[in-house]
Every structure is written in structure tokens, then in C-alpha cells.
Amino acid sequence: MTQVEPKKLEGLMLGQMMQFPLLISSILDYAEKHYSDTEIISRRTEGDVHRYSYQECAKRSKQLAQSLENLGLKPSSRIGTLAWNGYRHLEIYYGVSGSGMICHTINPRLFADQIVYIINHANDEAIFFDTTFLSLVEGLAPQCPNVKHWICLIDEDQMPVSDKVSLLNYERLIKAESGQYIWPIFDENAASSLCYTSGTTGNPKGALYSHRTTLLHSYASALPNALNLSALDSIMPVVPMFHVNAWGIPYAALIVGARLVFPGAKLDGQSLYELFETEKVTMSAGVPTIWAGLINYVQTNNLKFSTFKSTVIGGSACPPAMMKTLQNMNIEVIHAWGMTEMSPLGTVARLNVKDLSKTKEQQQEVLQKQGRVLFGVDMKIVDSQGNSLPHDGVAFGDLHVKGAWIIDKYFKAEESALIDGWFPTGDVSNIDSEGNMQITDRSKDVIKSGGEWISSIDIENVVAGHPEVGMAACIAAFHPKWDERPLLVIERKPNSQLSQDQLKIDILEFLQGKVSKMWMPDDVVFVDKIPLTATGKMQKLKLRELFKDYKLPTI
Ligand code: AMP
């Protein structure tokens, strides 16, 4: 008989090693001791560039912890942030979690009523915010009665005044403290931070990370097979610190002693390029839409990068054309996949030893997939009955995951989110015999045409390589015979020359032979801008609503 459940053992002898809880404060302690001079550089809302060392960061984080306690905030109090990537946000990451409170990063790009919902659901007691968000805060405050302190992240002499909300100043607050503070020691399973998913339907849901899960995730993400971080790197996380803890970089960078460069609010191509060059950034991370803007700026102005060597791309599929363009600039693209519910890293596309004997094209195919799971995560694909499907690179199904830094329950949910111990990701994928996973769709974006599933991502990836296409979304349009057929929605590049009719013919020709006949879109339509979610993903739900009555020419 095959064993289905792991055996339970009793009477085991325990190891006799120290109890050393994996706490977020230990990361900062380590960085302070061993990389005290390493720099943290931030573009600030004040308009200048700020630089200091890990040592100063540690002192100010401790001052912050003292101020939080003096404000009457208690262990496990939720402390919100509405802030860009910067040194003060980093101090909040460490000062809040380190003192046993919970750092709740809020995405300011969400609709105001979603933010109100999130703040009240989390029961935030204090909110730190960048001045950019002052008017947002003035609107939120009357609707968030549990927030006792609104703390503005700005130099004292530039402190704004508000006749609507009573504000505290961050610098004034921490200046009053000595920084003589010893981080408390507590259970590593205590909650450390909270991040809500930017769900397109229903209310956002909170993923509540612990110190232990955050540390394990940081170790794993720094490894060579993952993000390959080291003390020789200058890392610029463009991915916001309000989006799944900037993919864990604010923790992993300190574990390896890397220099950190924070871009602040300016994320356009020119601002990013200038910072890459002036601060000699070697490594970065962000969603494809960010790189599209940067590449466009670099190409239009005939520029080159002098130090930028590698970047992580994730959050949505990295279009192969974008990967090629960056590779041609000698920038390695590390394609990664994950979710808010996974802290976020699950897989990273990396060559394995077997791949070394493959052709360049075959290697490129491996790198374009979403990749292999990290140690600490397991994955499987299942059919609609929950049966496991083979890992042959062909069969595709719902992707389920489990592991050391993956959600069990959403914050305040009664029930576990798991199915038989696995978390259903909502993504559809295949896994090949060498363990490389490839996402074909979000399950709600799959186009179901006459019993066949068409991968919208595969089609978008090809079309994104057309020289006149800025962004491409492939969505399901109603068809009386096939139920659904693919409709291509195109946002053109700003310098696109062809007429719409010509471009439509050109795109369909461009697709010929690159996808099967059955997958060829029935029509191509143009929009000024493809709507994006608060985390920079294409908002296909909105597009489907927009084109819900669209009559395909094939009907
Ligand atoms: P979020 O929780 O906002 O980070 O969104 C997670 C979702 O983003 C995943 O479930 C995927 O649908 C999508 N996603 C993340 N990374 C990738 C990737 N590399 N390729 C395709 N989809 C991705």
C-alpha cells in the first residue's frame, strides 16, 4: 500500500543548540556591526539626494522604536505607511517590526475607499506618510477614527500645515530619543508586517507575515540561484516598498551588506536612468511597465548604462522582446514569479547544469519561463478535480504551492485559504520535466475557445515584440460558436507611424507562424492607454468590461 501521509514520530531526542529566534531586528544588528559604513542613498520628496550609512540607519530605527513606545503604541499594534522607497521607510520597516509592532505597508495607488477599508480592517493606530500623500491623508483621516497619529516623513523646516488633520513630524519625533535601545527578543512566529493584495474583485485581503517567514524568505532570495545578491552590489529596488515589501530586498540587501539606492517618487525613464548612472547601480528589480519606460528613454536618447548589470523582472510576465532588449544592453534579466501571499518569491528562471549543453535559443526559452522553485517552496499543477498533472511541459492546470513563507489564512479570516494543505495561486501554468514553471494565464484571464484554452500571455508576449506596439493585452470576446475568441487590445508606442488599419494587418502578419492558427486573434482594437492596476499590471477586468459588447468580425 502506498503511504499518503507522513509518519508521525514520538519520543524524539531534541538538538542542543541555542534558541536564536529569527527576528527582523537581528538583520539590522548584523548590518550595523559588519557593514556599518555601507551607504543607503535616497531621492527624497524634499527634492535632494540623501545619503547615510547602515550605522546611522540602525540608530534612527532605534530612535523610532523609542518614539513609538512613547506614543503609547504596543506590541502587535498595526502601524501603516503611505510612502515611497526611501531611507525613512526603511527605518519604519525595522523600527516598527523590531519593536514587536506590525508594519503595514499601504499601496497609495489604490482607490481612496479601498485604502480606508484597508486601514480600518487592519486597525492601524498610526500612519507614516510622505508629503506627496498629504491631501490623500486629509481625505482619509475623518474616515479612519482608529488612527491616533498621522506622522509626516519630512524635514522639520519643510513640515506642511493642515487645517484638516493634526500632524506629527517624523524628524521632531525621533530627535527627542537617544537611540539607546535594545531590540526586544520574542517569538519568531510573531507577526512582523502586513500587506494587502490588490485584488481586482472584492475587498483587498491581508497577508500577515511573521519574523520567521521574512527571515527565511530573505535568506532564500539572496542565494545565487535566486537574486544572487552580494556586498559588491548597489541595489536599486524600483518595485515599491508598499508592494510585498519591495520583494524582500530591504531585508535581503542588509543580510548581504549591499549598498541600497532608493528612487523615491520619480519613476520615469529619465529620473531612473540618471540615478542608475550617478549612483553606479549594479542591480535592480521592478515590473515590466517600469522597464518599458526606462528602455524607451535610453533608446530614444541613444544612451548606455555603465554599471547596471542585472535586474529582476516579475509581477507580470516579462515579454521576451523586453528581455532581449535588456540583454543586448548587457543587462541580465532574472525573471521571477511570486505573489503577495508568498512573501513574494516562489520561482526564479535560472539555467541548470543540463541547460549548458543546449543551444542559445533553448537557453533563452528556459530564461523566459517563470522558473524553478526555490528551496522552501513546493509546487504542483492540478486539474479541475484537484488531480495532480504531469510535469511534462505540456499539461497545464491550476498552480498550487506550499512552503515556509506562504500564507495559511488571510488576516482576520476564519478559514484557512488552503486546499489539502496547498495554496491555490489562481495562476494557470505548466511545469516541464526539469522543473521550469511557465505561467500561461491568471485563471480568470484564460480564453476558453471551443473547449481549448488559449494562453493570453503567450499571444501578448509575441505581440509585445512588434516595433510599434507599446503594450498588448489579449482578452476573451464573446463568440456564439466558440464561446470565446481572442481579441487583441493594443496601446501603440508614442512614436508609432502606421495608420490603425495598416498596423492591425501588420500585427496579425507578425503573429502568423508564431502562434497556432486556432490562437490567432479574431480582431485587433486600439486604446490610448491600457489601464493598469495599482501594482502596474494590465487591468484585464476593465478591458473585458469595456469590450463586453464588442462584435467580432468573425461572428
Ligand atoms: P501580486 O500579489 O500583486 O504580487 O500578484 C501576484 C500575481 O502576479 C501572480 O499570481 C501572477 O498572476 C502575477 N505574476 C507575478 N509574477 C509574474 C511573472 N513573472 N509572470 C507572470 N505573472 C506573474
pLDDT digits (tens, 9 = 90+) for 114-137: 999 999 999 999 999 999 999 999
> Quick one: cell of 55?
550605522
Average pLDDT over residues 455-471: 94
Atom of ligand 1 nearest to the CA of 535: 3
Residue 315, ligand 1, Cβ within 6 A: yes
**Residue 476 — pLDDT band, cuts 50, 70, 90?**
very high
Q: For a substitution probing ligand 1, which of 347, 439, 443 has the most ligand atoms within 8 Å of its CB?
A: 439
> Quick one: cell of 505?
494587418
Tell me what percent of the residues of the chain surpass a pLDDT of 70.
Answer: 99
Encode pLDDT of 203-234 as tens digits: 899 999 999 999 999 999 999 999 999 999 99
Q: For a substitution probing ligand 1, which of 381, 428, 537 has the most ligand atoms within 8 Å of its CB?
A: 537
SS (H, E, C) 488-520: EEEEECCCCCCCHHHHHHHHHHHHECCECHHHC
Across all residues in the chain, what is the average pLDDT? Answer: 96
CA distance 429 to 306: 37
CA distance 105 to 130: 13
Query: Are 192 and 102 contacting, i.e. CB atoms less than 8 angstroms apart?
Result: yes
> What CATH superfamily classification does 24-343 receive?
ANL, N-terminal domain (3.40.50.12780)
**CA 34 to ligand 1 centroid distance, Å:** 35
CA distance 503 to 492: 9
**CA 307 to ligand 1 centroid distance, Å:** 28
pLDDT at 178: 98
Residue 337, ligand 1, Cβ within 6 A: yes
Atom 23, ligand 1: which residue's CA is nearest? 316
Residue 196, ligand 1, Cβ within 6 A: no
Going by C-alpha positions, the residue among 525, 167, 533, 83 that lies closest to residue 315 is: 533
CA distance 545 to 543: 5
CA distance 332 to 308: 9
Catalytic residue among 164, 175, 266, 448: 448
Cβ burial of 346 (10 Å; 0-12, 13-18, 19+) is: buried
| Cis ω for the linkage preceding 494 (within 30 of 0) | no
Q: Where are the domains of the chain?
A: 24-343, 445-546
Say if residue 293's pLDDT is above 80.
yes
Encode pLDDT of 432-459 as tens digits: 999 999 999 988 899 999 888 899 999 9
Atom 8, ligand 1: which residue's CA is nearest? 315
Query: Which backbone phi and psi does 483 adopt, to 5 degrees?
Result: 70, -60
Encode pLDDT of 139-176 as tens digits: 999 999 999 999 999 999 999 999 999 999 999 999 99
445-546 has the same fold as 24-343: no
> Quick one: cell of 545?
468590461
Give the CA distances from residue 326 to residues 13, 291, 361, in Å, rounded to whole numbers and listed in that order.
53, 9, 16
Q: Tell if the pTM clears 0.85, that is, is over it.
A: yes
- Clarify whether 448 is annotated catalytic: yes
Going by C-alpha positions, the residue among 430, 507, 415, 429 that lies closest to residue 466 is: 507
**Residue 534 — pLDDT band, cuts 50, 70, 90?**
confident
Catalytic residue among 39, 69, 171, 453: 453
Residue 535, ligand 1, Cβ within 6 A: yes
**CA 336 to ligand 1 centroid distance, Å:** 9
Residue 519 pairs in a beta bridge with: none
- Clarify whether 453 is annotated catalytic: yes
Give the CA distances from residue 442 to residues 370, 511, 548, in Å, rounded to whole numbers and listed in that order.
13, 22, 19
Query: Are 197 and 346 contacting, i.e. CB atoms less than 8 angstroms apart?
Result: no
For domain 445-546, the question of CATH label 3.30.300.30 is answered with yes
Catalytic residue among 45, 81, 105, 197: 197
Atom 22, ligand 1: which residue's CA is nearest? 316
Say if residue 381's pLDDT is above 60.
yes
Average pLDDT over residues 73-101: 98
Residue 314, ligand 1, Cβ within 6 A: yes
Residue 218, ligand 1, Cβ within 6 A: no
pLDDT at 437: 98
Atom of ligand 1 nearest to the CA of 317: 20
Say if residue 199's pLDDT is above 70.
no
- Clarify whether 200 is annotated catalytic: no
